[in-house]
Amino acid sequence: MTLLRPRTLVALICLAVVTTACAPFELQLPPREQIARDAGDVVDATEIVALAPDSAAAGRLIGGAQARGYQVKRQHSLGGLGLQQVVFRVPQGRTPAAAIAELEALEAGTTAGVNHAYRLQAAPTGRRYAGEMLHWAPGGCPSRMPIGMIDGAVDLQAPSLQGAQIAQTDFTGGRPTAMQHGTAVAEILAGPGRLTGARLYNAAVISERGSRDEATGVDTLLRALDWLSESGVRLVNMSLAGPYNKILDRGIQAADRKGMTIVAAAGNTGAEAPPRYPAAFPQTIAVTALDAAMRPYDKAPRGNHIDFAAPGVDIFLTLEGQGQYLSGTSLAAPYVTAMIAGTGSGGSAETLRSRMARSARDLGASGKDPVFGYGLPSPAGACLQN
């Protein structure tokens, strides 16, 4: 990620929303020191990911890059997001910052960045309280809209998920992992007593990335978002987190303009850590975790970007044939996603955030605060316990 750019960049790009008019795309860069801290957290240090506004621009970019010694490793048309993605191998001797600047200068409207790593945000831990805390209807409630997941693989044979319709696509090249995590998130959404008749679309993006580190790259995340958009999914749960990335920034804004609402886990890097992404983007709904006593999860980051808090510590789930307890903001996010799906309420993240804030239970300091956000949201309609 280049440090040579100003804090705010504007490039005119055409995105197919309701009209074909060009709209300004503005990067939402964090402080320079945060970018520098995360610079090495990548899935492949030899790669630069680039986004172009259309196929003609991508073709010109590729031609210019190849003339300068770059190799095309992967190329994908992200029609659901209105973008073209190209992953380049950087010529030997080029620094990431130099490569990014060079590629962006080759073609107007191009955004280039390193391939940052994004990891799941849950871990094994030890009580059943979530439904009662949320005042969730004991028998569950109907799901009124399809739900997208960008996660690890889901065990489609899990007994707890037999009431759900699950479509799953592998984006790892045949190496999907983290099935326990993906299945846990799916169970919170569509397990017994949760959303009934749920339709889940899971993009399996997590694979081993050396030294048994399970993660995914930003290029894979955008392919997953594109698949969900093309599938007509407008509500997406992302229980993973990582550094700020320009490619993800542009992709999340494109998804928002396509009418997608993304609920994201705040991360598990600690109270003193900088914000994690995609939760820290204003186009997402950021969720932190609470324990049974409504205390904040000690591993969750804090900041003004936090929107809501939900159960996420010692959550009891039935995985691999036995009960297990897991903790993390990964588990808090799908509770909020389920609330939105249970109401069928459409609208942007900003609209839904405002609507849910009005009925949220205030926690901590009065009003919105950096620990709990607006507080504990409440289900509505058939999902609310009588």
69 pLDDT higher than 90: yes
Mean pLDDT of 271-281: 96
How far is residue 329 from each of residues 17, 127, 140, measured CA to CA in Å? 32, 16, 22
Q: How far apart are CA 334 and CA 312, in angstroms?
A: 10
Mean pLDDT of 280-294: 96
Which pTM was predicted? 0.87
241 and 366 inside one domain: yes
Question: What tokens does 254 get?
Answer: 């494109």
- Domain total for the chain? 2
152 and 82 inside one domain: no
Q: What pLDDT, on the 0 to 100 scale, is given for residue 210?
A: 62
Under the banding of pLDDT at 50, 70 and 90, the label for residue 141 is very high
Domain end call among 80, 115, 150: 115
Task: Judge whether 273 lies within some domain.
Answer: yes
pLDDT tens figures, 116-128: 999 988 766 545 7
CATH of the domain at 108: 3.30.70
Task: Judge whether 4 lies within some domain.
Answer: no
92 and 25 inside one domain: yes
Under the banding of pLDDT at 50, 70 and 90, the label for residue 305 is very high
| Count of C-beta atoms within a 10 Å radius of residue 101 | 16
Q: What pLDDT, on the 0 to 100 scale, is given for residue 370?
A: 97
Domain end call among 94, 115, 136: 115
How far is residue 229 from each of residues 161, 237, 262, 289, measured CA to CA in Å? 24, 13, 12, 28
DSSP code of residue 161? G
Work out the percent of the chain whose per-residue pLDDT is above 70.
Answer: 91
Domain end call among 100, 115, 130: 115
Higher model confidence: residue 8 or residue 226? Answer: 226
Q: What pLDDT, on the 0 to 100 scale, is given for residue 23?
A: 56
Q: How far apart are CA 93 and CA 318, in angstroms?
A: 50
pLDDT tens figures, 187-220: 999 998 999 999 999 999 998 876 557 899 999 9
180 and 301 inside one domain: yes
14 and 140 inside one domain: no
Task: Judge whether 101 lies within some domain.
Answer: yes
98 and 200 inside one domain: no
Higher model confidence: residue 125 or residue 113? Answer: 113
134 and 27 inside one domain: no
Q: What pLDDT, on the 0 to 100 scale, is given for residue 10?
A: 38
196 and 267 inside one domain: yes
92 and 123 inside one domain: no
Task: Judge whether 2 lies within some domain.
Answer: no
Task: Judge whether 1 lies within some domain.
Answer: no
Under the banding of pLDDT at 50, 70 and 90, the label for residue 166 is very high
Question: What tokens does 229 get?
Answer: 């958009």
73 and 159 inside one domain: no
Q: Which domain holds residue 298?
A: 119-383
Task: Judge whether 5 lies within some domain.
Answer: no
Task: Judge whether 235 lies within some domain.
Answer: yes
pLDDT tens figures, 102-111: 999 999 999 9
CATH of the domain at 148: 3.40.50.200
- Give the 3-state secondary structure of 302-368: CCCCCCEEEECCCEEEEECCEEEEEECHHHHHHHHHHHHHHHCCCCCHHHHHHHHHCCCECCCCCCC
31 and 62 inside one domain: yes
pLDDT tens figures, 16-67: 333 333 456 789 989 999 999 898 899 999 999 999 999 999 999 999 999 9
Most confident by average pLDDT, 176-180, 212-216, 248-252, 324-328: 248-252
CA of residue 23 relative to chain centroid, distance: 23
379 and 304 inside one domain: yes
| Count of C-beta atoms within a 10 Å radius of residue 218 | 30
